[in-house]
Amino acid sequence: MTKPGFFRHLLAIVYDLILLIAVLFFATGLLLPFNGGEAFTHDQIFYLVYLLTVSFLFYGWFWTHGGQTLGLKAWEIRLLSDNLKPVTWYQALIRFMVSILSSGLFGIGFFWIFVDKNHRCWHDIVSKTRLFRVSEDQ
């Protein structure tokens, strides 16, 4: 298996973000009746925690069940642990948390792919996971 290129990885992220936004809209719709049908405000920290939890469950489920989100599948990429085994929930949690940190620091953790000799992002390194390019017939 080969490593996916940076742009292939980036396009998979964009695909997944589009789907995640739809999931978060649905999740918000489920929660609105409990807020009197009113929009959530910045001081309602529960809402932020709720959205982060939904986001983690979205990514975590796909990563631990086949290693492919819709974006990864569309761009023929699979996520596996360093030992080529399926990703565990613990690895998924670490990967999710570090990817938030990576993006919060102007994406430097994602651009680390250009520095690392194995072309890994920070969240790959810390969670001991890797992205591999695969074809549909594998």
C-alpha span between 113 and 2 (Å, rounded): 14
pLDDT of 136 = 62
List pLDDT tens digits, range 97-124. 999 999 888 989 999 999 999 889 999 9
Average pLDDT (130-138) is: 79
C-alpha span between 75 and 122 (Å, rounded): 21
Quick check: 11 pLDDT over 90?
A: yes
Tokens of 10: 């980036």
Global pTM? 0.90
Quick check: 137 pLDDT over 90?
A: no
pLDDT of 59 = 98
C-alpha span between 58 and 62 (Å, rounded): 7
List pLDDT tens digits, range 47-95. 999 999 999 999 999 999 999 999 999 999 999 999 999 999 999 999 9
45-64 vs 6-31: helix crossing angle, rounded to 10:
130
